[in-house]
Structure 1
C-alpha cells in the first residue's frame, strides 16, 4: 500500500513540476474621439458600389495595416454621452462604416434603404483600435 501511495505522490509531483507558465502581454487599445465629422456628401450614382445615400471620409492615420490583418476597428456614435456601436439606426437613418489603411468611411441612408431627404448632421464619434 505504501508503494502505491508513494507512486501516486511521485506522479502528482512530477506532473505539477512539468507545467510551463506562459505570459502573454498585449498592448492596450487606442481610442480616438472626433468631435465632429466632415460634411456628408450625396453618393446616389448608378455606379456599382454606390450606397445610394450619404458618405463622409475621415483621415485616421492610426489605422495601419496591422489592424487590417490582426486587429479590430470599432466605431461608436455619441448620443449625448451615451455611445452606440456602428452599424446602428439612429433617428431613422442607418449608419455603417468601412475602413482601410489610414481612412474611415461612414455611410448613411434611410433605414429602408432609400436616400435621406437631407444630409445627416455632423456626428461625434469614438474610434477604438483593438490590437
Structure 2
C-alpha cells in the first residue's frame, strides 16, 4: 500500500512541476481627445446618411485597427459625461465609420429625417479609443 501511495504522490508532484507558465503582454490602448470637432456639414443625398457629417483626421488610425483592433468613439454631452457612439442624444442619432487615417461622424434625427433648427449638431468634444 505504501508503494502505491508513493507512486501516486510522485506522479502528482511530477505533473505539478512540469507546468509551464506563459505571460501574455498586450500593448496599451491609445486615446485621442478632440476638444471640438469640425463643424457638421449637410450630407443630404451623399451615401446612406440623411443629415449632417463631419470628418476627423486621425493619423493613429492605421490598417492594423481595420484588421485586428477596435475603435471606440465617445461623445461628450457638455455636462462632463461621455456616451459611446452609436447613440441618440437630444433626438439626434449619432454614428461613426472609419478608414485608415480618417473618422467620420454622422448625425440625423432619430426618425431618419433631416435635423433642422435646434437639432442641427454643434461642434462636439469627441474621445477616440484605439484598442489593439
Q: Do they superpose with TM above 0.5?
A: yes
Which structure 1 residue ranges, 4+ long, deviate > 6 Å from structure 2?
Answer: none
State the Cα distance separating 1:4 from its structure 2 match. Answer: 1.5
| Structure 2 spans left out of the alignment, 5+ residues | none
Tell me which residue corresponds to 1:124.
125
Displacement of 1:50 in angstroms is 3.1
How far did 1:3 drift?
Answer: 1.4
What is the aligned residue count?
A: 129
3-state SS in 1 of match to 2:16: helix
Q: Which moved more, 1:8-17 or 1:98-107?
A: 8-17
What TM-score does the superposition give when structure 1 sets the normalisation length?
Answer: 0.94
1:37 corresponding residue in structure 2 = 37
8 Å Cα contact 1:58/1:103 also seen in 2: yes
Q: Give the distance between the partners of 1:128 and 1:44, measured in 2 at CA.
A: 29
Instruction: Give the match for residue 94 of structure 2.
Output: 95
CA RMSD of aligned residues (A): 1.0
TM-score, normalised via structure 2 length? 0.93
- The alpha-carbon deviation at position 41 of structure 1 amounts to 1.1
CA distance in 2, matches of 1:18, 1:66: 37
Determine the C-alpha separation between the residues in 2 that align with 1:53 and 1:7: 75
Encode CA deviations 1:53-102: one digit per residue, 9 max, x unaligned. 11100000000011111111100011221111000100000000001110
